[in-house]
Amino acid sequence: MVLCQKRRIFERFFMIERIRYILISVLVSAAQMSAQQMGTAVNTFMDFPVSAHVAALGGNNVSYIGKDAMFAVSNPALLSVNTDNLLYLNYAVYMVGTGYGSAAYSMKFSDKDAFSVGFQFAQYGKLEGYDETETYIGNFSANDFALNATYSRYLNKYFTIGVTAKPILNTYERYTFFSLGVDIGVQFVDTASMVSLGLAVRNFGGQIAGSEDITMTSKWMPINVTLGLTKRFKHAPFALHLTLQNLQKWDYDYATNSYEENAGKVNAGLMIGKKFIVGVDIIPRSEKFWISISYNFDRGLSLGNPYVFSLSGLSAGAGLRLYMFQIGVGVAFYNTAAVTGHFSVAMDINGFNKKKL
């Protein structure tokens, strides 16, 4: 008995040390790649919120506790075996003539293994084309498209790990580019205290092929190292979320929303503030509905106008489950001219089988 307990303790310690070693290696690599981006990146559409609920929680949440496979886009480890045989469809109306969306199908291989496949896209409407002499040569379109395949593994009652592979295609006028990206993540859940910790590194990779007659300012994808905490309560239908994003980046060199002379200088307090997303969910254990509100400090501090009242950084949404379907709506405020509306539908395909029985 004592030997078995010692063996379990050793195996758990070894696993934790192995996970820590892998995460440290990944974080160091992410910091190095982020430094090489020099403030620019390709395929920034991969950071767009992928569903109404994700958008309502600030666009990035790596520690969510619940049955929603779309959160796996933020952290592959959030893909759960409880989201078996579910289909998701999402669309967001962005600025005039533009929009983006996603779809995914999730399933489980076993009681410990889950898999999902899906895609994301962004279309930027019709753009006017001009040559080097400023002569109008007609309209053209610009589109981004990405496939994604996610695998997650339930290690024990505390840890889940996940990985996502993402081939990406960009078509801008007559130019075509191909990129490849990878996300990895880990989630720690203590069911007794109803606390979840999540860590994800998204968008490892960059452009690997493209049109030779155009030079990109950067070929790296926008790496995002995100750490999150979620706390649910046993006797109250609330969930509190705290997310820190872009932890690999501490050299903000772009102008803030200040019009003062030193607008381009970002102090330490502002840099730290830009990391935070705070959110609240009203969601019962049955998950028959949800109501969310959040604030993304990066959006609010970077895009808000300090001299005009705006809701920049604020997001909100609500969802309802009706038999086989889950319907959600969300809204995110970027600035006074950019507000996105999100609409999501999820379908439990298992409902068809139950209906037949």
pLDDT by residue, tens only, the chain of 357 residues = 545 555 555 555 555 555 555 555 545 444 444 444 444 566 788 889 999 999 999 999 999 998 899 999 999 999 999 999 999 999 999 877 789 999 999 999 999 999 999 999 999 888 777 777 777 777 888 899 999 999 999 999 899 999 999 999 999 888 888 999 999 999 999 999 999 999 999 998 988 877 665 555 567 888 999 999 999 998 899 999 999 999 988 765 554 554 444 455 567 777 888 899 999 999 988 889 999 999 999 998 888 777 777 889 999 999 999 888 999 999 999 877 778 999 999 999 987 665 543
Q: Tokens at residue 276, please?
A: 């935070």
CA separation for the pair 58, 71 (Å, rounded) = 12
Please name the residues in contact with 148: beta carbons below 8 A apart, sequence gap of 6 or more: 73, 104, 116, 117, 118, 119, 120, 164, 165, 166
How far, in whole angstroms, is CA 343 from its chain's centroid?
16
What domains does the chain contain, in order, with CATH numbers?
Answer: 2-356 (2.40.160.40)
Q: pTM of this prediction?
A: 0.84
CA dihedral 41, 315, 286, 66 (to 10 degrees): 20
Q: Which residues contact 135 (CB under 8 A, 6 or more apart)?
A: none
In contact, 260 and 280? CB cutoff 8 Å: no
